Structure 1
Amino acid sequence: MDSFVRTMRIIWRAELLIIEAKISVATKRIGATAFAGLICIFGLGMLNVAGFFALEENWGPVYAALGVAAADFLIAALLVLWASRLTTGPELDLAREVRDGGLQDLEARAGDIQDEVEAVRDELLAVKNSLVNFSRNPLDGTIQALLTPILTLLIKSLTKGKD
């Protein structure tokens, strides 16, 4: 029973490690995506400024503002691409292996317990059958139980008498 509890604790800890790894990646993805969204907002702001300058002046500050906005959009796109490619590390694979090993151990123990239960069931069926036979013919069981010792004594006494 102690090994069963130990195996369950190992599985529980492995599941916790898996969840922690997934949460860690999810928080990094959310943070990177939020930062990319912030940069995108700055880019949109710069586009607004660029549009304003385009109307206000002839081509000078407009191209500078458009260049900054394009750089902001490029950085945002790179951050979104990086965030989408984040994966869990090797600790997740190790946690999965530990969990799978624990589950296999539990399955093996369950098979052993099932074999023991089947053996007890077979013994109980044999006892039931012998009780049913005894209840149907109580003299047969009694005669067989008494006849064997009587015959053994008779054979021993006959062989001693010949000696």
Structure 2
Amino acid sequence: IIFLDMDGVLADFFGAFSSYCGVNHWKELEHEDLMQKIDSIKGTDFFAKIPKTWCCDELIEFVSNISGGYSILSSPLEGDEDNCAHWKKVWIEEKLLLKPDEIFIKRDKGELAQYQGKPNVLIDDRPHNIEDWQNNGGKAIRFQANEDPIDVVKDALKEIF
């Protein structure tokens, strides 16, 4: 199974969040301001309104062609788990043409590295998730849609499959 992360891979969370905060890049914010802005999106439909990344559809199509489908594995916002999961599922339903086989909204991604008894693949933008996945016996590809060409994923998947 190939698991795709949402924020930073399929959904342009960082672009949308930066715009919401009125800055060019979210890293421009002081820590206290950043935490206040994150708190202010809790309980809202923010996650349903995020635009797709430039490569979202192409990535899903490529992954589906190489493996026969895909699943979503996305972390919820801490302290807003149920609301966040709801709006991420709305986003998937409204934005994605090719629907995932399964949707998992959970923080501890490594638990699914051996889901259904075999090593699976995770495409994610966060080093912590990549490391956790690999430590649990899965194969992981780090991909940041706002920085990397899609060939990072395509080349890595061709080696795996």
Q: Same fold (TM over 0.5)?
A: no
Which of structures 1 and 2 has the bigger CA Rg?
A: 1
TM-score range, shorter chain: under 0.3
More strand by share: 2
More helix by share: 1
Length-normalised TM-score, structure 2: 0.20
Length-normalised TM-score, structure 1: 0.20
